[in-house]
Amino acid sequence: MTRQAIMALAGNPNAGKTTLFNQLTGARQHVGNYPGITVDHKEGVLEHQGTRITITDLPGTYSMTAYSVEELVARDYLISHRPEVVINIVDASNLERNLYLTCQFLELGVPIVIALNMMDVARDRGIEIKADRLAELLGVPVVPIIARSGFGKEKLIDEALAVAGKVQPWQPRDISYGDDLNAAVADLVTRIEAARFLDGLYPSRYVAIKYLENDEQLLVKGRDTDPATAAELEAIVNTVCEHTTKTLDVYPEAIIADHRYGFIKSILRQGVMTHKFDTDRLYTSDRIDKVLTDRLIGPVIMLAILFGVYKFTFSWSEWPVARLEDFFGWLSAAIETILPAGLLKSLVISGVIDGVGGVLGFVPLIMFMFFAIAILEDSGYLARVAYMMDRIFRIFGLHGSSVMPFIVSGGIAGGCAVPGVMATRTLRSPKERMATLLTVPFMNCGAKMPVLALLIGAFFSDNKAQYMFLFTMLAWIVALLAARLLRSTVLRGAPTPFVMELPPYRFPTMRGLLIHTWERTWQYIKKAGTVILGISIVLWAMMTFPQLPVERLAGYEALRQNVAAGELQAIDKRQAEEALRHSIAGRIGIAIEKVSHLAGFDWRTNIALIGGFAAKEVIISTLGTAYSMGEVDTEQTDSLGERLKKDPNWNRVVAVAALIFIMFYAPCFVTVVCIAREASWRWALFSIGFNTVFAFILAVLVFQIGSFFHLG
Amino acid sequence: MQTILLRQMQKGQTGIIRAVKVGGELGRRIREMGLIPGAQITIHGRAPLNDPVAIRVMNGTLTLRNSEADYIQVEVQ
């Protein structure tokens, strides 16, 4: 039987962790989600000299506190899965800070092997590191590697396997935290051991440190399992805390951090690290930053790059999107001829094929967008975008990184909220991310554009371009203000600390980009796909059932017999209208007319708006059917526009009210499903309710005020 | 030698951190990134709207908001 080994890969963000993971496992990876949260769970397999090794890629973190989900995931994984060895990747060119996390692994006692990455970069910067000396002082194996080229990975795995082979209990390292705290730690450890506190799941010294660090997760766990001991421990910590704040004006957690760095420094000074030349030398990365984050040129270049991403996502994906449409069009046509007319045919074509086509139609968009974002992310530029945009987005309770999802969703008119919602993954601040997620559907996506064009073309044909621009600006303003509103109500709370690294610029590797793009796209197909197909069938049923009673159908048949061939089409259209009005969607549209007339919408508009939940461009075709005009092509809406202009229920005020409502009401259900996948179904339902109410209030205001002043 | 707040430092100015007067999540985030008493920092630049600020510390570049920099006291020449 082949030997099995379980390993975990951990390290700081930007230390090259993902690159190493890809190098080690190649395409043999599996990406999932940790239950209930959006942190990716990545697992890969590799064979090494007859041993089958499973590696879990833990989220990149700087520390092991209980503040972010990434850190909690990493910590809980180590405690509950007890990997045989943790490969701790550290950036040799930024060793001191990277060892801060290492230090916490040592405190926990988990067996580690250090992968000293980017030795080449360090050398270029005049930093010489003696790996064997570092290994000797830390008491753990240290293997110099270059993750990008794969240099050193064989040796790394050899060393990791050697450690994994030694079955031994975890050996927590004692790091001195100064006289005040050492005494407290000793006192805490005695009590923890006496009470077998937390069932010995964690090393007692580690629990003591976490108590002194005021770690919420462990404090809660302690109170739950053993309230008496927990209270005792907390009392000791409070006494120490009072003492240190009085005498030194610092909290114990600050003292612990200082001593960890002290421990690291003392090691590095013992002949581990030498600087061959001045550390302040201007690195290439800094030279690039001089231009790219310049106060004047920087924003201009950034706008150009963001526009480039947008162009790349939506123009380059046109061809595959069109081919997919062709294919599904061909499939529908084929089935049209094969199946007899009737419900089954309608279900297959309008429910299933349109549904599957709807799911896959977004795939090229998502792939292109994630590819572009992966380039910005892997090169280090995305962090600069956040840096430059933060001052503006912070006003609205968002984060500098929010800019990308907004642009992709339609910040430049014509985007799409589906990739936009998925792009919020680059945000690591939970509240800011949620606010972004919920407000990006307000932007003018490509599917809303033909609807806007229809209404603007019909009612404001003289100033078409100006109105289009006006409504794009309005989308931005409303989305940002709505974000502000959410952040001061349901997502209330202090901003997540912005403190973040501006990593050195790097050339992304093609392999990394492709893996990145593919895993995110696949997650969309797998997770959103099935739900989207289901809902699309439900929507089809709502627009189809109940069908017209037999006598009405017979009536239309009779009419057909009596008229000339040229008028047959007109009868078809009238029948389609009546069938739609008779369906569930139609009945809902009629039922809510009492409320919707406050915003000037009649039942025909209502049905179209219900149809718009399937996809915003469906508003046009449904409106066409409701006005007995048959299927209206989204590219050719002049005739429908003329029809609306003549309709007594429509005027300029109604048009503006409808425009506003269409821009801001419930996102299409594909977006809703993506919100559910990225956040939760609760938030997805919230976005349907909140957006619709919000949009309706705006539309009513526009209609009532506009009508009062007779602006129509 | 004088001690000022990080916010008040000029671009290109170097100093030694003397104190970080904040606890909780922000305090921990600041410390884990290497901003601890005794660390030498240099102001790398400021964003177009003067905020956030980018600083060099321990061979890396970090950025933080001015409101966060207010908790950090730096001794400058």
Query: A119 with A90: CB under 8 angstroms?
Result: no
pLDDT value of residue A631: 64
**Cross-chain Cβ contact B52/A127 below 8 Å:** no
pLDDT value of residue A33: 63
> Best of A104, A250, A387, A389 to disrupt the B interface by mutation (most B CBs within 10 Å)?
A387
Shortest Cα distance, chain A CAs vs residue B12, angstroms: 11
pLDDT value of residue A36: 55
Q: Is the confidence at residue A1, as pLDDT, over 60?
A: no
Kindly identify which residue of chain B lies nearest to residue A96, measuring between CA atoms.
B58
Strand pairing class (B53-57; A51-57):
unpaired
Average predicted confidence (pLDDT) for chain A: 88
Q: Compute the distance between CA of residue B59 and CA of residue B33 in angstroms, rounded to an integer.
A: 11
Q: Is the confidence at residue A541, as pLDDT, over 90?
A: no
Looking up residue B10, the CATH number of its domain turns out to be: 2.30.30.90
Cβ-in-10-Å burial (0-12, 13-18, 19+) of A485 comes to: middle
Kindly identify which residue of chain A lies nearest to residue B21, measuring between CA atoms.
A250
Alpha-carbon separation of residue A555 from A158, A452, A574, A575 (angstroms):
82, 37, 12, 10
Question: Tokens for A170?
Answer: 């975890």
Cβ-in-10-Å burial (0-12, 13-18, 19+) of A570 comes to: middle
Sign of CA dihedral A64, A67, A71, A72: positive
**Cross-chain Cβ contact B30/A499 below 8 Å:** yes
Q: Compute the distance between CA of residue A445 and CA of residue A406 in angstroms, rounded to an integer.
A: 10
- Arithmetic mean of pLDDT, A400-414: 86
Instruction: Tell me the pLDDT band of A596, cut-offs 50, 70 and 90.
Output: very high
> Best of B17, B53, B63 to disrupt the A interface by mutation (most A CBs within 10 Å)?
B63
pLDDT in tens, A232-288: 999 999 999 999 999 988 889 999 999 999 999 999 999 898 887 665 556 788 889
pLDDT in tens, A293-318: 999 999 999 999 988 888 888 888 88
- Arithmetic mean of pLDDT, A545-551: 86
pLDDT value of residue A567: 79
Kindly identify which residue of chain B lies nearest to residue A65, measuring between CA atoms.
B28
Helix A216-225 × helix A227-247 angle, to 10°:
140
The DSSP secondary-structure symbol of A496 reads P
Measured between CB atoms, does A557 come within 8 Å of chain B? no
Shortest Cα distance, chain A CAs vs residue B53, angstroms: 8
Domains of chain A: 3-165 (3.40.50.300), 179-273 (1.10.287), 297-514 (no CATH), 531-708 (no CATH)
pLDDT value of residue A636: 67
Kindly identify which residue of chain A lies nearest to residue B53, measuring between CA atoms.
A387
Query: A93 with A118: CB under 8 angstroms?
Result: yes
Residues of B in contact with A93 (CB under 8 A): 59
Instruction: Tell me the pLDDT band of A590, cut-offs 50, 70 and 90.
Output: very high
**Cross-chain Cβ contact B61/A65 below 8 Å:** no
Shortest Cα distance, chain B CAs vs residue A96, angstroms: 7
Phi (first) and psi of residue A561, to 5 degrees: -65, -30
| Pick from A253, A503, A504: CB nearest B28 | A253
Measured between CB atoms, does A511 come within 8 Å of chain B? no
Q: What domain range is B25 assigned to?
A: 2-76
- Arithmetic mean of pLDDT, A38-64: 88
Instruction: Tell me the pLDDT band of A126, cut-offs 50, 70 and 90.
Output: confident
pLDDT value of residue A633: 67
Say which residue, A515 or A11, is predicted with more confidence: A11
Q: Give, for all 77 residues of chain B, the pLDDT tens digit.
A: 799 999 999 999 999 999 998 888 899 999 999 999 999 999 999 999 999 999 999 888 999 999 999 999 999 97
Alpha-carbon separation of residue A415 from A365, A408, A447 (angstroms):
10, 5, 8
Residues of B in contact with A67 (CB under 8 A): 25, 28-29
Shortest Cα distance, chain A CAs vs residue B36, angstroms: 7
| Pick from A96, A394, A504: CB nearest B34 | A96
Residues of B in contact with A96 (CB under 8 A): 34, 58-59
Measured between CB atoms, does A280 come within 8 Å of chain B? yes
pLDDT in tens, A69-101: 888 889 999 998 999 999 999 999 899 999 999
> Best of A177, A502, A505 to disrupt the B interface by mutation (most B CBs within 10 Å)?
A502
Alpha-carbon Rg for chain A, nearest whole angstrom, is 31
The DSSP secondary-structure symbol of A250 reads S
Shortest Cα distance, chain A CAs vs residue B41, angstroms: 11
pLDDT value of residue A279: 55
pLDDT value of residue A37: 59
pLDDT in tens, A483-533: 999 999 999 988 889 999 999 898 998 988 998 888 878 877 876 777 777
Shortest Cα distance, chain A CAs vs residue B42, angstroms: 9
Lowest mean pLDDT among A494-503, A533-542, A583-592: A533-542
Q: Is the confidence at residue A615, as pLDDT, over 90?
A: no
Q: Compute the distance between CA of residue A434 and CA of residue A73 in angstroms, rounded to an integer.
A: 19
| Pick from B25, B44, B45: CB nearest A67 | B25
Please name the residues in contact with A39: beta carbons below 8 A apart, sequence gap of 6 or more: A33, A59, A69, A70, A73
Nearest to A322 by CA among A334, A314, A312: A314
Q: Is the confidence at residue A635, as pLDDT, over 70?
A: no
Q: Is the confidence at residue A174, as pLDDT, over 80?
A: yes
Q: Is the confidence at residue A58, as pLDDT, over 60?
A: yes
Residues of B in contact with A100 (CB under 8 A): 32, 34
Total number of domains in chain B: 1
pLDDT value of residue A463: 84
Measured between CB atoms, does A286 come within 8 Å of chain B? yes
Q: Is the confidence at residue A592, as pLDDT, over 60?
A: yes
Shortest Cα distance, chain B CAs vs residue A241, angstroms: 12
pLDDT in tens, A358-389: 778 878 888 898 899 889 988 989 899 999 99
- Window 19-78 of A: residues touching B by CB (8 A cutoff) are 62-63, 65, 67
Please name the residues in contact with A183: beta carbons below 8 A apart, sequence gap of 6 or more: none
pLDDT value of residue A475: 94
Residues of A in contact with B42 (CB under 8 A): 280
| Pick from B25, B54, B59: CB nearest A387 | B54
**Cross-chain Cβ contact B28/A299 below 8 Å:** no
- Arithmetic mean of pLDDT, A606-628: 86
Sign of CA dihedral A295, A296, A301, A302: positive
pLDDT value of residue A573: 83
- Arithmetic mean of pLDDT, A198-220: 90
| Pick from B27, B31, B52: CB nearest A390 | B52
Q: Is the confidence at residue A29, as pLDDT, over 80?
A: no
Residues of A in contact with B25 (CB under 8 A): 65, 67, 496-497
Number of H helices, E strands in chain B: 2, 6
pLDDT in tens, A555-576: 888 888 887 777 788 888 888 8
Residues of A in contact with B43 (CB under 8 A): none
Please name the residues in contact with A366: beta carbons below 8 A apart, sequence gap of 6 or more: A418, A419, A422, A520, A521, A524
Kindly identify which residue of chain A lies nearest to residue B42, measuring between CA atoms.
A280
Q: Indicate the Cα dihedral angle A387, A393, A395, A396, nearest 10°.
A: -150
Calculate ∠ Cα A188-A193-A194, nearest 5°: 100
Say which residue, A201 or B66, is predicted with more confidence: B66
